[in-house]
Amino acid sequence: MVVTIFHTADLHNRLTPAAARQLAELKRQHPGSLLLDAGDAVAAWNLTYRMMGEPILRAMADLGYSAMAMGNRESHPLRPALERKLRDASFPVLAANIRAQRSPLPEVVRSHVLLSVPGARVGVIGLAPQMVRPSSVWARVADYVFEDPLEVAPELAVRLREDADLVVCLSHASEETNRELAALPEVDLVLGGHCHHARVVAEPGGALIVYPGRHGSHVAKTEWTSRADARSELIPLERGR
């Protein structure tokens, strides 16, 4: 059993038409593969939203993205703005560490998804950066706060392990957090963003950590057979039209 996952991160609405066509072709060449994003796909800033919506989210839906992590650019502490930011997302936006205080979360926001691919079930946990910490003064007026990912992910990974052959952390958290996630025995793969690096990190005894760069420079192709047998390559994406 080999599970193939393509993932991007930190697109910032800069995915070119040529890169989109390349992603579509990679998906076509690998039937049953997954396409994920580790956050910051949109162009809006942390506390703003675009009145005309986010065309990148519509493009990602057309390409067949199964889910994305909530990045700082997709997040907002107030319900009306969060809804406006995510209104063009027709696939799950994952943030296991977001907690509703005063308003319910939009339906598109989930903690995780369980995806079926040929021969395997893949549990994907999304982790967002801590934009408003529960201890912050801003928590008094925020609709949502963000827990420490390392307080949420271990328990959820254990629960997902009951139903999933592969547990993935799709993370827009820090590199240090990702290293700690990769050390959890229940986590099989960490697909990261936020740092804008393009690199693959393999530490002894830990899950593979993969970063695909920023602005659509690369897509990461990861082939997973087991926690100890996972390989990833960074494929440059075309920049032209």
> Chain-wide mean pLDDT for the chain?
95
**Inter-residue contact 179 to 203 (CB < 8 Å):** yes
CB within 8 A of 47, min separation 6: which ones? 76, 81
Q: DSSP character for 25?
A: H
The answer regarding whether domain 3-236 maps to CATH 3.60.21.10 reads yes
Is a pLDDT exceeding 80 seen at residue 98?
yes
**Inter-residue contact 221 to 26 (CB < 8 Å):** yes
Using a 10 angstrom Cβ sphere, with 0-12 exposed, 13-18 middle and 19 or more buried, the burial of residue 34 is: buried
pLDDT for the residue numbered 239: 82
pLDDT for the residue numbered 44: 81
pLDDT for the residue numbered 45: 78
Express each pLDDT in 16-49 by its tens digit: 999 999 999 999 999 999 999 999 999 887 777 7
Nearest-angstrom CA–CA distance, 100 and 77 = 9
Express each pLDDT in 49-80 by its tens digit: 777 778 999 999 999 999 999 999 999 999 99
Q: What is the mean pLDDT of residues 82-96?
A: 96
Through-space distance between the first and last CA atoms of the chain, rounded to whole angstroms = 36
Say what the pTM is.
0.96
